[in-house]
Amino acid sequence: MWLNMIVEGQTEQVFARDVIGNYLTEFEIYVAVRRVRTGVEKGRIRRGGMTTYAKVHNDIKCWMKQNKGKNFRFTTMFDLYGLPKDFPGFSVIGKSIDPYQRIEALEYAFGEDIRDERFVPYIQLHEFETLLFADPQKFETMFIRHTGQIENLKKTASLFSSPELINDGFESSPSKRIIKEIPDYRNWKSTAGPNIAKAIGLNHIRKKCPHFDKWIGKLESLKIN
């Protein structure tokens, strides 16, 4: 079974390939990951970031046409934080409802728009860095001599029943909280983020992040289905 995954940026690409991909090989599911296509410049395809949903839709549909067999499945890993306003359901699903209800409603609308039984829509609450708050102590694997800052991140994590509930405010999103304590993370995120996640371990992340856990469970079952 081949699982084709489209993600937003380089950090998610490395995480999906090295952490999720390695794990799913145990289920004989082999992951191919690429960043979403955003345009063409001087004959070269540009990938990364998500400026409009239309580009996402087109990229997913194009990959599906290239891989039509039943042995191919498709999924995504996009951040709820900064989701484009033309995303399916975005204009009618308000922020006031429970975050888990909101994310499931958006994923449902996403699936309805793609309309392919091979597709497993996934949106990360609220962004990749959410997962790192499952065990902030592991920041020490990449950022030594940051004991005080790591303690502050641990205090932040303790304020929420799940890291997935850390909000998506411009200055209070998970990544902004990390960069406030450890500014170097901004420039090292595509390396540091996946390595910290690997140190935390997928099983521990799943215990702390129920929506993420549900997604991984769906991916595990693809071989059975």
In angstroms, rounded to a whole number, what is the distance separating the alpha carbons of residues 79 and 130?
10
The per-residue pLDDT for range 86-134, each reduced to its tens digit, is: 999 998 887 768 999 999 999 999 999 999 999 999 999 999 999 999 9
Indicate the CATH number of 2-125+209-220 among 1.10.3470, 2.40.50, 1.20.120, 3.40.50.
Answer: 3.40.50
In angstroms, rounded to a whole number, what is the distance separating the alpha carbons of residues 121 and 96?
22
pTM here is 0.93
> Considering only CA atoms, which of 125, 123, 145, 147 is closest in space to residue 136?
147
Instruction: State the pLDDT confidence band at 195, using cuts at 50, 70 and 90.
Output: very high
| CA–CA–CA angle 218, 129, 213 (5° rounding) | 20
| Ranges for all domains in the chain classified under CATH 3.40.50 | 2-125+209-220
In angstroms, rounded to a whole number, what is the distance separating the alpha carbons of residues 36 and 24?
22
Amino acid at 52: T
The per-residue pLDDT for range 122-169, each reduced to its tens digit, is: 999 999 999 999 999 999 999 999 999 999 999 999 999 999 999 867
**121-142 in b/e burial notation, b at 16+ Cβ within 10 A?**
bbbbbbbbbbbbbbbbebbeeb
Write the CB contacts of 169 (distance below 8 Å, at least 6 apart in sequence). 176
